[in-house]
Structure formats: structure tokens, C-alpha cells
């Protein structure tokens, strides 16, 4: 029996199954970031600011890599982008994320390291912004956000800009849908590859906003092996709302 929404463990298993099937991690990140950028562009257009400005808050994990890739595409498409990455220059990062950092750094003069001056960095990223992409924490995060990430979440929530969360709002538990502490209040959440169980819980409604799911190229058999329903055909539009 297959289910439509994945728990944290099933989401991890799906990623592992994709890697075992020959789909490399950088490819998944590349597609996830591209899909995030496409939805961001669509949301800007709906707000009548098709070439508006976007602030991207990217964490140290693969979720942050999705945000970095999205920033690179948006900059290419003429959108004003300020990207705040939580990693330290020269610090150790996961290989998949390292390539996203390198590529985004080459494409974006606005790529800046997070964590040095939280208030100043947040003010820099959010000045005159139309849309915020939350890519701070992904499904693998456990426990309440702490330190700089918690401070950035509070700053995001004080902004009047539209917020798009990548996979789930930072601070939301991937299984229960409960805010574990500070949690991003998203207007839209784009779940990658498969719906996330926590995002669909009643307790999550205050945090997730409108839910979308994007196909990121995971083979059908991987879903079946993880007892998950494969995404349905969506025609020319890659998003399912």
C-alpha cells in the first residue's frame, strides 16, 4: 500500500533510493532549485512585480543548496536577488552544497556569508524586498531552531513580503506539523518530489500557507520502493497546488 505524503524517514529513504538508482545528488538539487525559482517568478508575476526583488535565506544543508540554485536562476532572469548563506567562507560543507555555493558565488555579487552580524545581514537582504525564499532548514532538521537561524526566522516573520518556503517552513516538524520553537510563517510552501506529512497536518495550517508539490526527477520505482505514490502527470505546469 502506498501513501501520498512522506514522513521524515520516507523522505530520506526516497532521496537515498534516487541516488541508488543513479540520479546524482547535485542533479536533484539543481532541479529543486530550478523549480523553486520558477515558482518564485510565478508568484512575483501574480503580484504584478515580475522582475521584483527576492531575498534568499539559505542554510548549511541541502535545503540551503536549493535556495542557492534558485537565487542563481532568478538573477539570470533579471530578478533582483540578495542571497544570505549561513555557511562560512572556506568552511567544510557537504559536496553537493559546495558546488551550489561555488556556482552561486560566481553568478551573484550579492552572495554573503550569514552569521556574522545577524541584524545587519537581515536588513541588507530584506531591504525593499517583494518575496522571501526560506531555505534555512529542511526535513532533516530536528529540535527548535537556535542562534542565528532562530533570529533570521523572527526577522522573516516581521517582514511584510510574501514568503515561499522550500520543502517546509523552517522550524516546522516534518512529521507532526508542530512548530518546535521559532517557525517561519510561509504564504506558500513548495514540497520537493513528494508531499511532506508534517505540512499537511492540521497543526501546520498557520505556518505553511498554500501548498505546492514539484517533480524533481526521481524515478517512479523509487517512490514505489518507498511505499509512496509517484507524482501524477501535470502537463506543461510542473506544480501541483
- The CA-to-CA distance between both ends of the chain, in Å, stands at 24
Residue 235 belongs to a domain: no
Q: Indicate whether 73 belongs to any domain.
A: yes
At residue 8, the pLDDT reads 94
In a domain, 236, yes or no: no
91 is in which domain, residue-wise? 5-229
Distance CA 73, CA 226 (A): 31
Of 118, 126, 131, 135, whose CA–CA distance to 169 is shortest?
A: 135
Query: Domain for residue 239, yes or no?
Result: no
Per-residue model confidence as pLDDT tens digits over 87-116: 765 555 677 777 777 777 766 656 665 555
- 174 in Cβ contact with 168 (< 8 Å): yes
In this structure, what CATH number is given to the domain that contains residue 209?
3.40.50.10260
Contact 144, 177 (CB under 8 A): no
pLDDT tens for each residue of 5-42: 999 999 999 999 999 999 999 999 999 999 999 999 99
Residue 191 confidence class, pLDDT cut points 50, 70, 90: very high
State how far the alpha carbon of 163 is from the alpha carbons of 130, 157, 192, in Å: 9, 9, 17
Model pTM score: 0.91
Q: Which helix (H) or strand (E) holds 112?
A: strand 112-113
Q: Is residue 237 in some structural domain?
A: no
Instruction: Specify if 58 maps to a domain.
Output: yes
In a domain, 216, yes or no: yes
Per DSSP, helices labelled H in the chain are 8-20, 25-46, 62-76, 95-107, 118-126, 147-158, 205-208, 220-225
Residue 192 lies in a domain: yes
pLDDT in tens, 51-64: 899 999 999 889 99
Count of structural domains, the chain = 1
Amino acid at each position: 500500500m502506498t501513501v501520498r505524503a512522506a514522513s521524515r524517514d520516507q523522505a530520506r529513504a526516497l532521496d537515498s533510493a534516487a541516488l541508488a538508482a543513479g540520479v546524482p545528488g547535485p542533479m536533484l538539487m539543481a532541479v529543486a532549485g530550478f523549480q523553486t525559482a520558477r515558482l518564485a517568478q510565478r508568484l512575483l508575476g501574480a503580484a504584478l512585480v515580475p522582475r521584483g526583488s527576492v531575498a534568499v535565506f539559505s542554510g548549511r544543508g541541502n535545503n540551503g543548496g536549493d535556495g542557492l540554485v534558485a537565487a542563481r536562476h532568478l538573477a539570470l532572469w533579471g530578478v533582483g536577488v540578495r542571497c544570505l548563506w549561513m555557511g562560512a567562507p572556506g568552511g567544510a560543507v557537504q559536496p553537493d552544497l559546495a558546488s551550489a555555493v561555488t556556482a552561486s558565488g560566481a553568478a551573484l555579487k550579492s552572495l554573503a556569508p550569514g552569521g556574522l552580524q545577524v541584524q545587519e545581514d537581515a536588513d541588507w537582504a530584506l531591504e525593499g524586498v517583494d518575496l522571501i525564499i526560506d531555505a534555512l532548514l529542511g526535513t532533516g532538521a530536528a529540535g527548535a531552531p537556535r542562534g542565528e537561524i532562530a533570529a533570521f526566522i523572527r526577522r522573516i516573520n516581521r517582514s511584510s513580503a510574501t514568503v515561499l518556503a522550500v520543502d517546509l517552513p523552517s522550524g516546522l516538524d516534518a512529521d507532526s506539523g508542530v512548530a518546535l520553537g521559532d517557525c517561519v510563517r510561509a504564504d506558500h510552501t513548495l514540497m520537493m518530489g513528494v508531499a511532506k506529512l508534517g505540512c499537511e497536518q492540521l497543526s501546520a495550517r498557520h505556518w505553511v500557507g498554500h501548498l505546492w508539490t514539484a517533480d524533481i526527477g526521481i524515478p517512479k520505482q523509487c517512490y514505489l520502493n518507498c511505499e509512496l505514490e509517484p507524482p501524477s502527470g501535470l502537463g506543461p505546469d510542473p506544480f501541483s497546488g
